Structure 1
Amino acid sequence: MSTPTLTSAVFDSVVDWSQPMLTYYDHDSGERTELSAATLGNWAAKSANFFVDELGLGAGDEVLVDLPEHWQTAAILLGAWWAGAHVRLPGGDDLETGSLGAAVTSADRIDRYDDVDELLVASLDPFAMGVRDLPVGVTDFASAVRVHGDQYNPPRTASGPALDGAGTETVITTARAAAQADGITTGARVLTTRPWQTASAVVENLVAPLLAGASLIAVAHADEQRLTGLSDTERATITLR
């Protein structure tokens, strides 16, 4: 049996495209951004179209994502997987930045990747506004992807590694096991403060809930005193910390 791309598998789990798929909170900045499955799919599609049509990336090409937990990070990861790219995270085994097809990072981290040909900066702005006054050779990701189509026709099957050397089938199997271990089922509303900074964390804390058909409520810089009230407000059925 063929294996779909990881992103195709995630969106195949969607029951109602109008319902929230990812809600992002940052207790430091006060941001709250809610994305329906349709909206998250649009951003992932724009990202995939950009990677493929503008950068010429495809199966096996490495895309490094060095970003904090954020809704834009989720969209970029999903877009890269849809394009068939091999997502790398900082500190991954055998990572050679000079061989990357592209790197997406934040403005305060660009000095780490001066040997990458295609260096992109994600604004992490609540409204996806662009970043101004970037150095020559550094591309503002939000501005670049905005002009691309919000629908994407992915390859029928995944080929090559998906995340730090792990194949798509392995990632899907691991994510489903993680969702089962956490009691996540279709329609659950999962409030989480867990990080996405390693391959295992991305699989268990981001991919697993989405692949299970849950609605993910991700909280960055969580204020412990506010979490109980937030759980009630968001009607969370599962809290993971």
Structure 2
Amino acid sequence: MNFPLPTSVPRLVDTLRRSSRPALLWYGADGERVELSGRVLDNWAAKTANLCVDELDLGSGDLVVLGDEVHWRALAVTLGAWTAGAAVRPSDPRGTTADGDVVVALVDAEGGLPPLLAHPPAGARAVVVDRPALSLGLRGGAPDDAVDYCAEVRSHADVYSGLEEPVADGPALPDPDVGQEITHARLLPRALEEAAGREEQWGTAAAVHVPGRQVDPRFLLRVLAVLASGRAVVLTDRDTADGSWTAVLTAENAVGF
């Protein structure tokens, strides 16, 4: 890294706010390409944190269950939840139940409600996320009692003025290697452990592709490690087995994790 490790995810997002360079590059299977600068990614995280607190009543230690489909908005939701001091737990969207205070998932490719949100646990708020980058809300509207993320998040403030820091020993993410929670204080150090020895391999690359077809704790830790390195993270849900993906990485001056 070329700057000191921030003490928490909100402080990492603070460093992104001062950057006009790309922080996130998304290549969708539908051909969509989305580029978010550090400043814009910070904006999405702040708006999401404000939505979490003001509309979803989330606080320190509350749990956000996140559908496991890879999408750039899943990262915005995750960073926003952590900024608000909540814990995030990826879950299989094919399941029908999940414990948690809030359950968040993407609509399917046809705009249909994902199974994870079809039967949310009693008392949990459901948040439905649309796919297109320019979406202003779900076609046909959200189901009863569900929050339409794309319709609601834009109305929230661009700066989060809540917790200065998440509770240090509060849960943030399940550890993929041991049966316990990673705390907010340990989240970034644990992410760098995931990337140990890769800085030299990444060299002068401007971006790093984090592979994977589902969001899980290891995936999120790797995304954090790339952001903490000062590079852009490249995400995709498209097939990367053919030569066209190599051309994408070359064009973006990116390497693989």
Name the counterpart of 1:108: 114
Maintained 8 Å contact 2:14/2:42 = no
For 1:63-212, what aligned pairs fall within 5 Å after superposition? 63-90=64-91, 97-98=98-99, 100-106=100-106, 107-109=113-115, 110-113=117-120, 115-133=122-140, 134-159=142-167, 160-164=170-174, 165-183=181-199, 184=202, 188-204=206-222, 206-212=223-229
Distance 2:12 2:233 in 1: 12
Instruction: Give structure 2 stretches of 5+ with no counterpart.
Output: 1-5, 107-112, 175-180
User: 1:68 is aligned with what amino acid?
Assistant: E
Distance 2:39 2:245 in 1: 27
Distance 2:122 2:203 in 1: 43
Question: Could you tell me the TM-score, scaled by structure 2's length?
Answer: 0.80
Provide runs of 4+ in structure 1 moved above 6 Å.
none
Instruction: Give structure 1 stretches of 5+ with no counterpart.
Output: none
CA distance change for structure 1 residues 83 and 136 in 2, over 3 Å: closer, same or farther?
Answer: same
CA distance change for structure 1 residues 222 and 10 in 2, over 3 Å: closer, same or farther?
Answer: farther
CA distance change for structure 1 residues 127 and 185 in 2, over 3 Å: closer, same or farther?
Answer: farther
Give the number of aligned pairs.
Answer: 229
Maintained 8 Å contact 1:187/1:213 = no
Distance 1:35 1:44 in 2: 12
Question: Could you tell me the TM-score, scaled by structure 1's length?
Answer: 0.85
Root-mean-square deviation (CA), in Å? 2.3
User: 1:17 is aligned with what amino acid?
Assistant: S
| 1:166-219 per-position Cα deviation (integer Å, ceiling 9, x unaligned) | 102322112112233322579742133334522122112x11101221111222
Higher relative contact order (CA 8 A, sep 6+): 1
CA distance change for structure 1 residues 172 and 103 in 2, over 3 Å: closer, same or farther?
Answer: same
Deviation at 1:16, TM superposition (A): 5.1
**Structure with more of its chain in helix, by fraction:** 1
Maintained 8 Å contact 2:85/2:165 = no
| 1:83-111 per-position Cα deviation (integer Å, ceiling 9, x unaligned) | 000112216xxxx835x221111222322
Distance 1:129 1:123 in 2: 9
Distance 2:17 2:105 in 1: 32
